[in-house]
Amino acid sequence: MSTQALFGQLLIGLINGSFYALLSLGLAVIFGLLNIINFAHGAQYMLGAFAAYFLLNKAGLSYWWALVVAPLVVGATGVAIERLMLQRLYKLDHLYGLLLTFGLALIFEGVFRNEFGSAGLPYSAPESLTGGLNLGFMFLPRYRAWVIGASLVICLGTWFTIERTRLGANLRAATENPTLVQAFGVNVPRMITLTYGAGVGLAALAGVFAAPIYQVSPQMGSSLIIVVFAVVVIGGMGSIMGSIVTGFGLGLIEGLTKYFYPEASNTVIFVIMAIVLMVRPQGLFGQR
């Protein structure tokens, strides 16, 4: 096997890693404030990809527009879901939130499978990002380089917003003690709604990134979200930076596995999860 193939797999690993990072980041932000694991996250990622597809084919809006519009539209549906449904569950066991969002994921996926079948729809990358660079040791498609770079920027931007700005400080405070933060005059319910919307928007953005790489298909989210759950268990949801590092790291490990022992590439992340659970149950970056 050649180094060309090795670098090719590492590149795919980094691409997958950026999706793991973006999705687990959204899950962590939502979990922090809502105490809910958003099972619909994969479906909302799929909605983002479909939104990009519709914007291009029905409204004639390019990829660049989709990057802005799709997260806003899908995020808005998230806001509606939080206002109409999730809000009623906060006083109950957290597991009900998981069950509700699981039901929503089934509905979204079912509706799109009904409409578009299981086959994927093609979505081509914008003109300016086609082609690639020959780096000597490997060929780097421009679009893939862009996805990795853009995901990194978005991830670090989210980290900065949460850890270094006033808004983020409010958010972290509300995660610790919502009642006290509300007493200080912060509209916590609105913050919770917008946080869910933002987390869903992040998933949709990942979906737009994914549309030109994978085909746009109804079940593109469901298998991904299970891997992302394992990523979240490995990283622990305590830290934002932890989610980012774990996401990219596990993507790379998966890529390496594809090169050295392809039979295990589907399961390597789950095996790592099992090992982490034995050695450090709270996750690599989690706090007890």
Residues that bind other proteins (CB under 8 A): 31, 37, 85, 88-89, 92, 94-96, 98-100, 102-111, 113-114, 222, 226-227, 229-230, 232-233, 263, 266-267, 270-271, 273-274, 277-278, 281
> CA-CA distance, 183 to 16, in Å (whole number)?
42
* Residue 112 C-beta: closest distance to other proteins, Å: 9
- Cβ 7 to other proteins shortest distance, Å: 24
The smaller minimum CB distance to other proteins, of residues 214 and 270, is found at 270
Q: Which is nearer to other proteins, 40 or 51 (CB)?
A: 40
Nearest distance from residue 106's CB to other proteins, in Å?
Answer: 3
SS3 141: strand
Min CB(203)–other proteins separation in Å: 16
Q: Using alpha carbons, select from 121, 89, 91 the residue that is nearest to residue 102.
A: 89
Residue 244 falls in which region: left (phi positive, over 0), alpha (psi -120 to 50) or beta: alpha
Q: CA-based Rg of the chain, rounded to a whole angstrom? A: 19
- Nearer of residues 38 and 151 to other proteins, judged by Cβ: 38
Contacts of 45 (CB under 8 A, 6+ apart): 19, 23, 203, 204, 206, 207, 210, 220, 221, 224, 225
Q: Considering beta carbons, is residue 13 or 212 the nearer one to other proteins?
A: 13
